[in-house]
Amino acid sequence: MGEFDGLVAAVTGGASGIGAAIVAALRERGARVAALDLTEVEDGVRVDVSDDESVRQGISAVVDRFGGLDIVVNNAGIGAQGTVADNDDAEWLRVLDVNLLGMVRVSRAALPHLRRSGAAAIVNVGSIAATAGLPQRALYSASKGAVAALTRAMAADHLREGIRVNCVHPGTADTPWIGRLLERAEDPEAERAALEARQPHGRLVSPAEVAHAVVYLASPLATSTAGVGVAVDGGMQDLRLRPR
């Protein structure tokens, strides 16, 4: 018996990294879960969150397969590096289309089903970049700051419809995404060690740790929690332990 027995969840970006950990954590606790991703995985639905038709078909496919939808985790996201001087309009629109509008499209398609749930929750995956003022991450940070604002606005709009909306803000998490960044370094092992040393708790965040926060926010344990952002960042945001 799990706290998600009888509930259906859709997790965008569920084929890799943090999303895959969220899929596993919800399944372990009894949910029936579909991973909505560009990459097709077992029990998944191929969805491109930057394409409204693809999203609507994907949500319909989940509802057809499982008979309803109770939990949406908007996790799919892509990175961008540089200052405002480095990315042109097309790059801004490409990243916002996935990181921000992707969440809007999935939520819009899911809302009619969530309203019927009785135990509905949306959890958005933001980032420490939403508030940390990270250098060389203007576009990515703006996209995640928008996710934090969207979360609060959606929480206000939908709480009385029985849908709780919350957000998690991971710090640097040990996923294929970070693996790809490290591979580009001259000395990936040294770069990884330096990255770990920059974390207040001396290591990267694990995808499972992020998934635990998502599980809590999506679960019946959090029925009076709405509009919050939970940092899962080893204290990066809130402790004065950043490397001197």
- The answer to the question of residue 77 lying near ligand NAD (CB under 6 A) is yes
CB distance 62 to 34 below 8 Å: yes
Choose one: 115-123, 149-157, 166-174, 183-191; the region binding ligand NAD (CB under 6 A). 166-174
Catalytic one of 140, 142, 148, 215: 140
Count of H-run helices and E-run strands, the chain: 9, 7
Nearer to ligand NAD by Cβ, of 65 and 116: the residue is 65
Distance CA 140, CA 77 (A): 10
- The answer to the question of residue 78 lying near ligand NAD (CB under 6 A) is yes
Binding mask 88-107 for ligand NAD (x = CB under 6 A): ----------x---------
Size of site (CB under 6 A) for ligand NAD: 28
CB distance 14 to 36 below 8 Å: yes
Distance CA 116, CA 197 (A): 47
Binding mask 121-150 for ligand NAD (x = CB under 6 A): ----x-x-----------------------
Nearer to ligand NAD by Cβ, of 3 and 191: the residue is 191
Nearest to 22 by CA among 110, 116, 121, 130: 121
Nearest to 122 by CA among 162, 65, 172: 162
- The answer to the question of residue 170 lying near ligand NAD (CB under 6 A) is yes
Minimum gap (Å) between residue 24 Cβ and ligand NAD? 13
Considering only 5, 28, 39, 241, the residue that binds ligand NAD (CB under 6 A) is 39
* Other CB atoms within 10 Å distance of the CB of residue 38: 16
216 is catalytic: no
Considering only 3, 24, 27, 38, the residue that binds ligand NAD (CB under 6 A) is 38
Binding mask 45-64 for ligand NAD (x = CB under 6 A): --xxxx--------------
Spatial CB neighbours of 61, under 8 Å, sequence gap ≥ 6: 34, 45
Task: Please report the beta strands in the chain, taking only residues with DSSP state E, as ranges in sequence order.
Answer: 8-12, 32-37, 44-46, 71-74, 120-125, 163-170, 229-232
Which spans of this chain sit near ligand NAD (rule: CB under 6 A)?
A: 12-13, 15-19, 37-39, 47-50, 75-78, 98, 125, 127, 170, 172-173, 175-178
Question: Which residues participate in catalysis according to the annotation?
Answer: 140
